[in-house]
Amino acid sequence: MPVALWLYLASYIDRANIGNAKVLGLANALHLTSSQYNWALSIFFIGYVLFETPSNIIIRRTSPRWYIPALTILWGLICALFATVKSASGLLAIRFFLGFAEAGFLPGIVYWMSCWYPRSVLGRRFGILYSTVSLTGAFGGLLATAIHALDGTHGIAGWQWIFIVEGTITAGFGIIAAFVMSAYPQTAHFLNEEERRIVLLTNEADRAEKGSEGFSGKQIRSAFTDWRTYVWALAFIGIYIPVYSVILSLPSVVTGLGYKGTTATLMACPPYGLGFIIVLLAGWTADKYGRLFYHYAASIVVVIIALIVLMAVENLVVRYVMFFFVMFMFIPVSICWAWLAANLAGPNKRAAAMGFVFSVGNIGGTVSGQIYRAEWAPRYVQGHAINIGCYIIALVAGAALWWSYKTDNERRDRAANQVVKRTGVHDLVGEDLGDLGDRHPSFRYYL
């Protein structure tokens, strides 16, 4: 968990720091038009989408211990090189390569964590991990403001220092991770034999996952023949477009409330603080009470209501308060990570399906940079309306998945003449799901 946390925090800071750098001098220094800046946001996800699926297959073929740190070092160095950019075209080019280098990290880290923990505790683990995104919004803004104080030092502008310092820190994290990461429980240097046996038996009892399971091309292909994989991708697009659009544009959107420059950056921090807390709480309640779809749907409804109020109300205080409720947007993402990982049996299928779902979902990232456009300021009514539409799509996709899982569990229960427990956990020690994976009659889906 500590390794995953600090690397993920670094990845989001490096990805989103362009928003803070923009209001702290980047846009003026490079003479960016609003269209050029929006494309700089979007082009990141083109490289991201292209490499996510093959990257997760590569991580299964090789080892997370070396692959994830190598990616971290590479994108950290690219982030630091942002300081050398002199034009809009240069910014577009380096944003593309940053996306390409960082693409394999998120699906890789989520897959890696899912190999360590049983499904009943994934909610809080992914909640802790994803809460760092909201922490990035709060801490990232404060860090960028603090680094900007170096403005003019050694003839380097403050916005350039932001990329240099944050990129260098990330590369350092990657080097440290290469020495402390363990690929899987069966090779973990910090576990003794008894602890290793407990971890492996727990995962086997939960979903018949064997620590010795090797690479299987047939299981990887099964990820692409399962129709749910594509519905999951649709759900991810629906929840990722609003999240990315707000993360990338909140400092600019806050300027529509009358705040400028450093003040706008700082005023964007408190809502992220609430986001940090509620994601942690949602992860805890998801593990304790189950009902992952209910967590998913309820949080989406809260965000939709907040966006509607932002569209309808002109009072600046009310609109600022609504941004706190918009932070419920983080909950569906962490819940989806846990829900998706819980319902994919077999490490090969899980790696491939996660890579594909994250890849297609992040196509939404190419759109997100176009949502809060400068010409729609200061109310951004059109941007809020687009995000509402995305959430409606996500609700429909999530409901379809929930219903299919529910009916499959009921059908398997009837066939096996047994009553499934509320959590859907079955003791699968000694069971071999084979290439069927989660399609095996003994497997039960989480709802």
Q: Give 331-371 pLDDT, tens digit per residue.
A: 999 999 999 999 998 888 899 999 999 998 888 777 876 78
How many residues are present in the chain? 447
pLDDT in tens, 139-172: 777 788 888 888 888 889 988 999 999 999 999 9
Residue predicted with more confidence, 388 or 138 = 388
Which residue in 68, 69, 78, 109 sits closest to 15, CA to CA?
Answer: 78
**pLDDT of res. 278:** 94
Whether the CB-CB separation of 1 and 125 falls below 8 Å is answered with yes
At CA 123, angle to CA 387 and CA 388, rounded to 5? 10
Least confident of 17-26, 109-118, 168-177, 431-440: 431-440
Q: What is the mean pLDDT of residues 120-124?
A: 92
Q: Which amino acid is at 369?
A: G
Whole-model pTM: value is 0.85
Contacts of 2 (CB under 8 A, 6+ apart): none
In this predicted structure, the answer to whether residue 436 has a pLDDT above a threshold of 50 is yes
Q: What percent of the chain has pLDDT over 90?
A: 39
In this predicted structure, the answer to whether residue 425 has a pLDDT above a threshold of 80 is no
In this predicted structure, the answer to whether residue 216 has a pLDDT above a threshold of 70 is yes
Contacts of 350 (CB under 8 A, 6+ apart): 111, 114, 223, 341, 344
Which two structure tokens, joined as six digits, stand for 300?
Answer: 């989406």
**pLDDT of res. 207:** 74
Q: Which among 161-165, 209-213, 249-253 has the top mean pLDDT?
A: 161-165
| Mean pLDDT of the residues in the chain | 86
Which residue in 332, 308, 310 sits closest to 394, CA to CA?
Answer: 332
Contacts of 351 (CB under 8 A, 6+ apart): 56, 57, 59, 60, 111, 220
In this predicted structure, the answer to whether residue 104 has a pLDDT above a threshold of 50 is yes
In this predicted structure, the answer to whether residue 48 has a pLDDT above a threshold of 70 is yes
Domains and CATH numbers, the chain: 1-181 (1.20.1250.20), 226-418+437-446 (1.20.1250.20)
